[in-house]
Amino acid sequence: MSGSPKYQWFSLSQQTERRLRHRRRQLMEDARRRAAERARRAAERARREAEERARRKAEERERRKAEVLAAIAAQRERCSAMTEDPSIGRWVSAQLAAQRTELDNAERELAQGQVAAAQARVERIKAELDAAYAAAGEAQLQEDRRQYVVNSLLDVFAELGFTLDGGIRLERADDPRSALMFQVRRLSGEAIAVSVPQDLRDRVWYDIAGLPRREHIAADGTLATSCDEAEAEISRMRALLAQQGVLAGELLWEGRDPDRPAPTALTLPTSAQATQEAQS
């Protein structure tokens, strides 16, 4: 058998061929079924994962919506409390009304599904209410200072023989920041009307009646006005106010002669002395 390579052909009988083909078809069908099952399981898994993501997303959206709704309710209650508090509401009423409108807008956005927009609006509202609260606190502190000054003035005027003529009123009834105005009077006829601003850095005005005023030519040739009795009253009043912790500045008026020295404070009658003099 040595020498050149030998070879031969093989073939299968028809029965063997059919048997092999049938086996191959079974194996391929099994492979197809396994692939189809894997595909089905993968699709089912993907569907469940998508549904879970959607569920979690919906839950998160509802959770955020509930949180924003709770925040709106909290800020609305805060707004109501600030409005009802007399030391806050009267100073920032316009700001509070504006924020109530903004809360209504946030609720509408939430109802339309605009959760992020509503949440952002509520954050702005909270910041605005914080600012309003701070502004109201400062305004009320100014009012506390003013009330202390007004009460001190009334005490001092009473010591100087004056009584309150009428009540104390705001210059503009609808504006608590407008000046507080009152008038005091003696039985002998002298009267002083006073206007006290809320911000004490502004001027406190006096309108004095019943005391003589004089005119003279000032050093610069202009016509100047003086009222020694009124200046003496105010000078004594300043000293009495200082005893109560209220520091009053220099008395100024239109037409005052800057070169003329202020008169020495007079010893003014007390309330009882003024009453006796008026009756004598």
- CB burial string 65-86: b at 16+ within 10 A, e below: beebbebbeebbebbeebbeee
DSSP state string for 102-114: HHHHHHHHHHTT-
- CB burial string 10-21: b at 16+ within 10 A, e below: eeeeeeeeeeee
Give the H/E segment covering residue 275. helix 271-279
Digitized pLDDT (tens) for each residue of the chain, 280 residues in all: 556 777 777 888 888 889 989 998 999 999 899 999 998 898 888 888 888 888 888 888 889 999 999 999 999 999 999 999 999 999 999 999 999 999 999 999 999 999 999 999 999 999 999 999 999 999 999 999 999 999 999 999 999 889 999 899 999 999 999 999 999 998 888 888 999 998 888 888 888 775 545 444 444 544 444 455 667 777 788 888 888 888 776 665 554 444 444 433 323 333 344 344 434 4
- What secondary structure letter does DSSP report for 204? P
Comparing C-alpha atoms, which of 15, 127, 114 is closest to residue 64? 114
Residue ranges of domains in the chain:
15-141, 160-279
